[in-house]
Structure formats: C-alpha cells, structure tokens
Structure 1
Amino acid sequence: MTPVLARRNPVAKLAAALLFALPLVSTLDPLTPAIGVAVELAVLPLFGVSAGELFRRAWPLLLSAGGILVTMVLFAADRSGTPLFAAGPVEITSGVLLGALGLVLRVFAVALPGVIVFVTTDPTDLADALVQNAKAPARFAIGALAAFRLLPLLGQEWQALTLARRARGLDAGRNPVARLRLFASTAFALLVGALRRGGRLATAMDARGFDSGTTRTYARRQIFRRADWALIAAAALLSSAALAASVVSGLFRPIIG
C-alpha cells in the first residue's frame, strides 16, 4: 500500500515543499534549518522513503557541504568568536564554524523537500497535475515531462562518447590538463547531441498536435482533496514553528537587515 503522504496530489506536495523550504532561508542561524532537517527526516516514513534511498538520491549535497565548509574557513569575513585553530593566514573561530554549520544545514533543509517530492511522484502524474490543478500551459508541462524522461539517456550517451573516443586512441592518461581538455570536449559533444535531440523532439511534439490550442482530455484525472490542502497547511505551520523557535531562543539572524 502506498504511504499516506506519497498518495497526495503532486502539486500539493510541490507546494508544501516550497512553503516549508522558503522560510528557512530567511535567517542565518543554524537552529531554524536544523529543526527543518529534523522534521524532514521524521516524515520520511510517511512518504515511504528509506534513509538509504534518500542517501542515494541526495549524496551530492554532502559534496556541496564540504565545499561550503572549505570556502567559509578560507574566505569568511566574520571571524568573531573563540579562536580554535590558526595556521598562517587561515584562522578558524567558533563564529566561522557556526556560520558554516548554518549554511550547510540550510542547504540540506531547502534541498531535501524537493528530493522527497520527486522520489515519491510519478513524472506523468506531476505533468498532469500541473496542467489540471496549477493551470500550467500544456506545452510547458508536457515538454518538461519529455525532457525529464530523456535525462537517463545523457548518462548512456556520455559512456558511449567516452568509449568511442577511447577506441580512437583519445586517452588522457594521467595528464590532468589532457583530462580536463578531454572532459570539456566530451561535454560539448554531449551538449550538441542533447540540443539536436531536443529539436527533433519539439518538432515531433508539434507534429502530433501538442501545441494545437484545442481543449485536451486526460486519461488520469488529478483531484485536489482536503488532505492535499491539509498537507500544504501543515508544511506552512511547521516551517513557521521552526522560525518562531529561532526567534524565541534569540538566535534569529535575518538575512536582510
């Protein structure tokens, strides 16, 4: 049986994710995004998403967290707080680590709702719901669906291009400069192939009447129920509660002002 929140309308899940994530970027303190991440991890079972699956989908966020930490340590302008470590021009203080922690947690708090939504939502259902419930243009929604369906092909094409170049003797070996040049040329070839496929796809969709302007019918109706409104309201309430906890604790640091 599909978990209770995974059954909700795709537009409702998308709106709930936006309402929950946006207030979390209004403050620089680490408490608000920490509460947000805790709430997101707590509702994972209600969406039917395991911790392992979430890690497989969101592991690039760990790389971004490492980059943020290094950047803050090297280039942070505010180095107030207790000095913890110093090596030449690099000085690590409690203020630097607190700022880096807040930024890392904010990245996770904003990105995880989107990951959860797209893991539990069928792309076709999302496109149908955008047109039926959000009144998005059919050309945009169906085009986005087609592009999403073609994303897995990019990995296959990258592998095919790499093998083809290796078969022609184009191998960078251990030379980092040659590796970078080979990567850039392969990425350009992949981009050209993607643009050509996109043009053919657009022509094929127009030929099949996807932009005819006539009223469309749908095989699967997307109904917006009371439970969907409840999900949106709960997301807004929880996000506001996290922000209120920051204000009450005295840690609230608005981004503007």
Structure 2
Amino acid sequence: MSDVVTVSPQETRVEPVKASSPSWFIARINAVSRIIGALLLCIPMFISLDVVSASTALGIEFVLLWIGGVAPWTVCRKTWPVWIAAAGSFISVFLYGRTSGEILWQGGWIVISEGSVNLAIATAIRVAAIAVPGVILALGLDPTDLADGLVEILHFSPRFVYGGLAGLRMFTLLQEDWRALGLSQRSRGLGDGNAIARALSQAFGLLVLSIRRATKLATAMEARGFGSSAPRSQARISRLKPVDWIFYVICLAVPLASIGVAVGTGNWHFAFQGV
C-alpha cells in the first residue's frame, strides 16, 4: 500500500511574511527588483564624475531612504565600509590624481592641484552615491527569494540557480566543519605543533570534506530531476507587482535627475573624459 501525498494548489499557498529589509518599502518589493533597481541606480552614475551630480544623487538617496523608514544615521551605521572605501578613494585621487589648474603643493611623486582636489571630492561622493543604496538594498535579501525570482521572472536555468543556492547554503557549515576538525586534531594530540602546519592540514581536511559533501549534494539534486530538460513546477510564486515598477521608476529617476541638475548648472563632467 502506497502513501498518497496531497499537494496544495500553488495559488493557495501562503508564505509567512519575513522581515527582509529595514525599510518598509524595500521589504515589499521582489528580491530580483532589488538587483535590477541597484543597476538602474548605479549604471548612469558611472558616466558622471562631478561634485554636483554625485552630491545631488546622494542627498536624494538619503531622503528617499528616510521616507522608506531608514534614518540617515542608520544608513551611515549600516554602510560604514562604504565610507571607508570613499575615504580611501579620496586620499588616493587627492595625492596622485590628474594634475590640472593651480598646483597647491608638490613633493616627490605627490602633486596636489585644484583639479586633483575637485576630482578627489567628486570621486569620494560618487563612490558613496553608488554603493550606499546597493548595500541598503542587499540588507536582509533572502537567497531563496532571489533564486525563485531569477528562475520565474528572469527565466534563468533552475539547475544553475538552485545548484548555486544549495552551494551557498553549504557555506554556513564551513565554520562548524573547521571547528570540528580542530577539535578532532586536538583530541588526537595533533593540535599543539606548528600553527601553520596545523592550519594547512586542517584546510586540506576541510577541502576533502567539502568535495564529498558537494558530490552527495549533486547526486541528490540529480535524483530530484534537476538534470532533466523537462519543465519544472515551482514551490513558491515570484511575480512582479505594481510596487516593483514604481521602484524601477524611482531608481531610474534619481541618477537622471542628479545628472540633469549637473548639466543645468554647467558642472557636469563625463567620467571617461580628461579633467
């Protein structure tokens, strides 16, 4: 006698609401829309390199995030690596950027000019304007929701997407495996020798363990039909909603408005043109 497994219709399944973002607005959009929105925000900013467009875009982004439920101080706290990168870009361009205008200071290979100062400020602000919204959009992004969106909306290969998702989830086990290998070596009296040799031996053991687990995972996925060319049904529905299209319009309007302000004030500079 065989058991009968009852499967509910796809449209009647209700997924529990997950807190996927510190912003109430971003939490409502599809996971794929976050990736598309980040590209719409960033790509136009790559062609612009001036203080006006970068600062305008950054200011608009802070205001929109504040309206979306993320306060400016929260944005700064959650994106602190971006500000470190922006400071690093400022220092490098400030000291070694293209020389133009009046030379303010010179010493050896370092030449500080008016042009390098302006370029350094524009570069730092542009780094922040491009990276800050990307980091905020990535906060709380669920890999499973992203995989469903890539398959159902962008029509990526299910085998590739869900294989990558399974491998990504395996990364969480590496830390536990590393700790278990270390404890097993110490239990056999092998943990008190050279630290470098112990780490190399432990890393090799972790590599072997990961390959074995990946082989079992690949076999299990093949057994579930991931290697077949037949169309697959989806356990969860991932669709674009009107709020996603509103989000696309906002993401495209921010860089276009900032570039428009720079052009209108006569301060716009093409990023791939000499200063």
TM-score (normalised: structure 1): 0.76
2:80 alignment counterpart: 59
The question of whether the paired residues in 1 share the 8 Å contact of 2:182 and 2:202 is answered with: no
User: What is the letter of the counterpart of residue 31 of structure 2?
Assistant: P
3-state SS, counterpart of residue 212 of structure 1:
coil
Quote the offset at 1:232 in angstroms: 0.6
1:123 and 1:228 mapped to 2: Cα distance? Answer: 18
Question: Any idea what the Cα deviations from partners look like across 1:27-85, whole Å, max 9, x if unmatched?
Answer: 12132222222222223345554656655653332343343234324432x22234444
- The alignment status of 1:225 with 2:241, answered yes or no, reads yes
Question: RMSD between aligned alpha carbons?
Answer: 3.6
> For residue 137 of structure 2, what is the amino acid of its counterpart?
V
**1:6 partner SS:** helix
Report Cα offsets for 1:117-147 as digits up to 9, x if no partner.
2214322111111111111211222133224
CA offsets 1:87-130 (integer angstroms, 9 cap, x no match): 34322223212212222222222222332222143221111111
C-alpha distance in 2 between matches for 1:114 and 1:58: 10
Kept in 1: contact 2:66–2:72 (CA 8 A): no
**Compared CA separation, residues 189 and 104, structure 1 to 2 (3 A):** farther
After TM superposition, list the pairs within 5 Å mapping 1:67-106 onto structure 2.
Answer: 67-76=88-97, 78-106=98-126
Structure 1, 146-155 or 222-231: larger mean CA deviation? 146-155
1:108-257 to structure 2, matched below 5 A, reads: 108-154=128-174, 167-171=191-195, 192=207, 196=211, 198-257=214-273
8 Å contact 1:130–1:136 — kept in the other structure? yes
Larger CA deviation: 139-148 vs 197-206: 197-206
Unaligned runs of 5+ in 1: 173-180
Instruction: Determine the C-alpha separation between the residues in 2 that align with 1:13 and 1:194.
Output: 35
**Higher helix content, 1 or 2:** 1
Preserved CA contact (<8 Å) 1:6 1:48: no
| Matching residue of 1:30 | 51
Aligned residues: 247
CA 1:74 to 1:139, structure 2 compared with 1: closer, same or farther past 3 Å? same
Residue pair 1:13, 1:232 contacting (<8 A) in 2 also:
no
Identical residues among aligned pairs (%):
32
CA offsets 1:205-228 (integer angstroms, 9 cap, x no match): 233322322322223212212221
CA distance in 1, matches of 2:96, 2:76: 29
- What is the alpha-carbon distance in structure 2 between the residues aligned to residue 39 and residue 151 of structure 1? 37
SS in 2 for 1:231: helix
Q: Distance in 1 between matches of 2:175 and 2:191?
A: 18
Q: Distance in 2 between matches of 1:26 and 1:238?
A: 14
Q: Which runs of 5+ in 2 are unaligned?
A: 1-16
Q: Aligned equivalents of 2:152 and 2:168: distance in 1?
A: 19
Q: Which residue of 2 aligns with 1:16?
A: 37
Q: Whose radius of gyration is greater, 1 or 2?
A: 2
Counterpart contact for 1:73–1:90, Cα < 8 Å: no
User: TM-score with structure 2 length normalisation?
Assistant: 0.72
Q: Bigger CA drift: 234-243 or 89-98?
A: 89-98
